[in-house]
């Protein structure tokens, strides 16, 4: 099968590409604009494989996208390209509207036009897989509540509103034009190759440098943490075995308060990186509570029973096993994140100080 993966140089996208190359016989074409979060170093382990190809382009560029479709002839489009950082969406929402809404519209139209040219057999087999977030649902009020596939949308930030819009576009193209599409909504991902402005890698990297570990408000915000490699496996199953028109929520069954996540990382670093920066007795001493972000959702949690029952997927990593693997990866792969800090990678130079 031919998989076209948009945003394939990003965090989740690169995990999907590595999975496809390492665990299937599929050909993979990556489409990525290489904005600040796109990093070709995340694809270094697979870039020499003859089944892999890379195209640096904006998904809003209809002409260039069309050429890729015509030359690569995809069987599956996995759409992961998105602006995804809530803080950035608050500071500058325009890029989120452009990429997440206009970009998704453009990709849908190019996909629809390509799909319409296929033979009946290939037309039936084609899939447009839209990868989205649990943040489209807003937050949960009661401790026992969970996001389900039929939970009403109530986005809180420009980011989540733009992703909700893109979800609606995909379903409209399926209903109006018959485009064979599926949608997945995931909880917070973590793991190797995570961009350093997000909470978990930011905490690891700042701690190693003896810098403050910023925690919003009281740190009582709760997230359901999903190891990115578990997510990649779920996405492949959904794309290849999922029924057209269905939605699956993908979660890690790992609810944790942000403050507890940070403290867990500090405890692991005390064990795995005992040579602390000068003047630091415990990494936990670096925790610094900062003003909360506007409209900050308090709790996300996913009911992932549908994908388990229908597709046989469930996460392999517990939070304890996954976070240990993550901390160990950042300790061993300093070159990857140091190239981001000094601006020598494929994205822009920036000062890091915000969290997921």
Query: Three-class SS of residue 62?
Result: helix
- Which of 196, 168, 202, 183 shows the shortest CA–CA distance to 243? 183
Gyration radius from the chain CA atoms: 20
- Residue 117 tokens, joined: 């040219």
Domain ranges of the chain: 2-194+225-253+297-317
Q: Which long-range contacts (CB under 8 A, 24 or more apart) does 86-94 make?
A: 86/135, 86/157, 86/159, 86/160, 86/293, 86/356, 87/197, 87/293, 87/354, 87/355, 88/159, 88/354, 89/157, 89/158, 89/159, 89/162, 90/157, 90/158, 90/293, 90/294, 93/158, 93/162
Cα–Cα distances in angstroms (integers) from residue 299 to residues 89, 155, 328, in the given order = 19, 13, 28
- Residue 293 has a pLDDT of 85
Render pLDDT for 166-206 as a digit per residue (tens, 0 to 9). 999 999 999 999 999 999 999 999 999 999 989 999 999 99
Residue with tokens 């350093």: 196
Query: Would you give per-residue pLDDT tens digits along the chain (356 residues)?
Result: 999 999 999 999 999 999 999 999 999 999 999 998 899 999 999 999 999 999 999 999 999 999 999 999 999 999 999 998 888 999 999 999 999 999 999 999 999 999 999 999 999 999 999 999 999 999 998 888 999 999 999 999 999 999 999 999 999 999 999 999 999 999 999 999 999 989 999 999 999 999 999 999 999 999 999 999 999 999 999 999 999 999 999 999 999 999 999 999 999 999 999 999 988 999 999 999 999 988 888 999 999 999 999 999 999 999 999 999 999 999 999 999 999 998 877 544 333 333 43
- C-beta of residue 106 within 8 angstroms of C-beta of residue 59: yes
Catalytic residues, by residue number, are: 134-135, 159
Residues forming a β-bridge with 143: none
Task: For residue 32, give both structure tokens.
Answer: 């990525």
Cα torsion 346, 347, 352, 356 to 10°: value is -110
The CA dihedral of 109, 113, 115, 118, to the nearest 10 degrees, is: -170
pLDDT for 166 equals 98
Q: Which residues contact 182 (CB under 8 A, 6 or more apart)?
A: 127, 128, 129, 130, 238, 239, 242, 243, 244, 245, 246, 247, 248
Q: How far apart are CA 85 and CA 92, in angstroms?
A: 10
At residue 307's C-alpha, the angle toward residues 306 and 310, to 5°, is: 80
pLDDT of amino acid 348: 42
d(CA 48, CA 188): 30
Helices (H), the chain: 11-23, 62-72, 86-91, 94-96, 104-116, 120-125, 158-177, 199-209, 228-241, 258-272, 305-311, 319-332, 334-341
DSSP label of 323: H
- pTM of the model as a whole: 0.94
Q: What pLDDT is stored for residue 344 in this prediction?
A: 77
Q: What is the pLDDT of residue 346?
A: 54
Topology of 2-194+225-253+297-317 in CATH? Rossmann fold (3.40.50)
Place of tokens 């989120």: 96
């Amino acid at each position: 099968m031919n998989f076209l993966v948009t945003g394939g140089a990003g965090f989740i996208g690169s995990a999907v590409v590595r999975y496809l190359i390492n665990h299937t016989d599929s050909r993979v074409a990556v489409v990525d604009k290489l904005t600040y979060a796109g990093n070709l170093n995340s694809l270094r382990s697979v870039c020499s494989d003859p089944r892999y190809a890379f195209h640096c382009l904006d998904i809003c560029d209809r002409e260039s996208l069309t050429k890729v479709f015509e030359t690569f002839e995809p069987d599956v489009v996995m759409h992961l390209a998105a602006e995804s950082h809530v803080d950035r969406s608050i500071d500058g929402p325009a890029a989120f509207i452009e990429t997440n809404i206009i970009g998704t519209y453009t990709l849908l139209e190019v996909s629809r036009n390509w799909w319409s040219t296929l033979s009946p057999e290939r037309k039936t087999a084609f899939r447009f897989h839209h990868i989205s977030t649990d943040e489209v649902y807003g937050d949960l009020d009661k401790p026992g509540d969970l996001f389900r596939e039929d939970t009403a949308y109530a986005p809180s930030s420009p980011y989540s509103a733009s992703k909700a819009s893109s979800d609606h576009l995909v379903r409209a193209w399926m209903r109006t034009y018959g485009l064979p599409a599926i949608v997945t909504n995931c909880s917070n991902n973590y793991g190797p190759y995570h961009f350093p402005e997000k909470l978990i890698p930011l905490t690891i990297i700042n701690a190693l440098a003896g810098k403050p570990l910023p925690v919003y408000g009281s740190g009582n915000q709760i997230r359901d943490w999903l190891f990115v490699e578990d997510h990649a496996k779920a996405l492949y199953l959904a794309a290849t075995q999922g029924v057209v028109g269905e939605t699956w929520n993908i979660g890690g069954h790992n609810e944790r308060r942000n403050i507890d996540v940070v403290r867990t990382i500090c405890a692991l670093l005390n064990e795995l990186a005992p040579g602390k920066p000068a003047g630091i007795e415990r990494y936990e001493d670096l925790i610094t509570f900062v003003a909360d972000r506007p409209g900050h959702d308090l709790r996300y949690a996913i009911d992932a029973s549908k994908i388990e029952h229908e597709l046989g997927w469930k996460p392999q990593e517990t939070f304890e096993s996954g976070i240990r693997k993550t901390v160990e990866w950042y300790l061993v792969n300093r070159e990857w994140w140091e190239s981001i800090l000094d601006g020598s990678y494929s994205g822009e130079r920036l000062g890091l100080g915000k969290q997921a």
